[in-house]
Chains A and B, each alone.
Chain A
Amino acid sequence: MFELIGVAPQALFGQLLLGLINGAFYALLSLGLAVIFGLMNVINFTHGAQYMMGAFASWMLLQYLGIPYWGALVLAPILVGATGIVIERLFISRLYHLDHLYGLLLTFGLALIIEGLFRQQYGSSGLPYTNPIPGGTNLGFMFLPYYRAWVIVFSLVVCFGTWFMIEKTKLGSYLRAATERPDLVQAFGINVPRMITLTYGFGVGLAALAGVLAAPIYSVNPVMGANLIIVVFAVVVIGGMGSILGSIVTGFGLGIVEGLTKVFYPEASNTVIFIIMAIVLMLRPQGLFGTPR
């Protein structure tokens, strides 16, 4: 067995794998944030709460209706996305003519409400969710649990599927056009308000999907989204919200960096992403993939 700078390869690759998984969540969440921000100019502070709702939805589907993980993987994002559509219609749609900051404040308030309700109902200790694909395989240099491999592969597929839909399809071209000039697109007979509503639902659905994927790895917990969303904000600032591909690369990349920090300098593992954010802001304020204004 080889030794890497005094670190056992088992620990190194184990943390690398965990980093990749965190990176998958960062990518899925920042992707949703970027899609929503692109079209609506709203930073969705509720995103963390909606990720948590996704995890809870899969737990509830199993607990109350007996629907297994694979059903929840489809149903939970649709259900949570539908609540997102209701939220957009009831609240957020009233703020489009105002300063963007009000969207941030509103969604922050909504996040507090959702988190408070779940804490009231389920307490703040976690609920367990059984791993749907137990077991794993020994790769020689590390042990690879099947479920973690599945999370990485599946989230990559979802990320690139989203990228393909937005960059390469007709629907995506409408979306991109509406991001630039909603008034003109509307004049061409496309129902932009409905498109905005559905886009918000889609972004929320992505957050919920990340929640479903997270449920078997981390325990299902009302506060699981609150701290994660702040890290995702930093990820978004580092990457810049200009490009879909940029969000994906930054998300996975920062997850790996965080994993490596856990191995080599664990004290900084909580803060490394924020430090990177500060450095990026000093050197390239618009973000790695952002366009300067």
Chain B
Amino acid sequence: METRLANVEAAAKAAQSAGDNAWMLTSAALVLMMTGPGLALFYGGLVRSKNVLSTMMHSFSLMAVVTVLWAVAGYSFAFAEGTPFLGDLRYLFLNGVGSAPNADYAATIPQQTYMIYQLMFAIITPALISGAFAERMKFSAMLLFTVLWMFVVYFPMAHMVWGKGGFLNAFLGGKIPCFDFAGGTVVHITSGVSALVCALYLGKRQGYPAESMKPHSLVLSLIGACLLWVGWFGFNAGSALAASSLATSAFVATHFGAAAAALGWMLAEWLHSGKPSMLGGISGAVAGLVAITPASGFVKPFPALLIGFAAGIVCFLMVTAVKRRFGYDDTLDAFGVHGAGGTLGAILTGVFATNAVNDGLKDANGKLLPLGWVDGNAMQVVNQLGGVAISWVLALVGTLVILKICSLVLGGVRATEDDERQGLDLSMHGEEGYNLDA
């Protein structure tokens, strides 16, 4: 009897583990698909045809570069226990990261699954920044910048929010309990704010804004944006770290946020300039996905619609009115969409987070604690602002210092005037995207 019971228990555990692992491996693949080809197509279509490959190379090359960094040290810095600001070196070279689960993070899947899943987030984050310096940064500078940026900004930020004992980790003993389900601060604020710094540091593209810099293929961008939308289910629903009802809830919130934001942006555009555009629709969808990212595992479906709709309108104003007012050349609006959308989403998470969706916080007696303002915990909005402030400052200061270092080491981070005029595809990579006479 005892043995049979133990056997049944082991079988049930194995079944859950199999289900969770299947979903998490699928999610990891979905998140990789967001970078390549999702973001590569989205960004690639938005630049001029002479820069399509160089822009796609930003995304694609990071799939290789960040993976190696992650394996060597990145995972350890981000997810090993250590100080509140950075993990220690226990997982250096993935030492001890194998088939046994790490119960602090995800008790039912191999730690190796968790490691590869988190890697995909680390890949897309610097790729998002590339939208700000597209069409004018040297490839060597892009590589050095990213490597340094991962160590200075990403690994510390991921550790603070998601790592055990991290300064902002609401669930594993953080000083400021900040809710960030899938990376509103870690991914979108850091990348978006760093993008703004890059845009300001590099200066405008030659001829901006007098010359025509129309997107060369919104068809590619549409395909990319839709791949991002689908991949985002892995990003957000996968962040439940199990094939659970929380994953379903995050999936629904994600989809609702994207849909409402696409509508919000198109509506704003329709009222403002007379026509709703395809580019507006897909930009809105991405803005909504960004904003719902931190909230996705904490909010009900209708607040998700609201967050998305707000993001559609706010990000529209950011890339039109605000960008024009200040005159910076954020080529593909990485700041306007990811910086602004991420900030808005992080704050609204504090408003709409509810323990009816997420039962992760309980008191000593097992009673659910209130999460956001809707649960009666208005203080959470302040906690969220704390997380926002830290990610803004880290991204601002870190990126500026890194750009200075890159400039010193490489003699400037910007392509020469001739290289930029010729297009980075030819000048950096010696090839062209479209050889129509071939």
Asked if A and B are interacting partners, one says no
Chain A positions within 8 Å of B, measured between CB atoms, are none
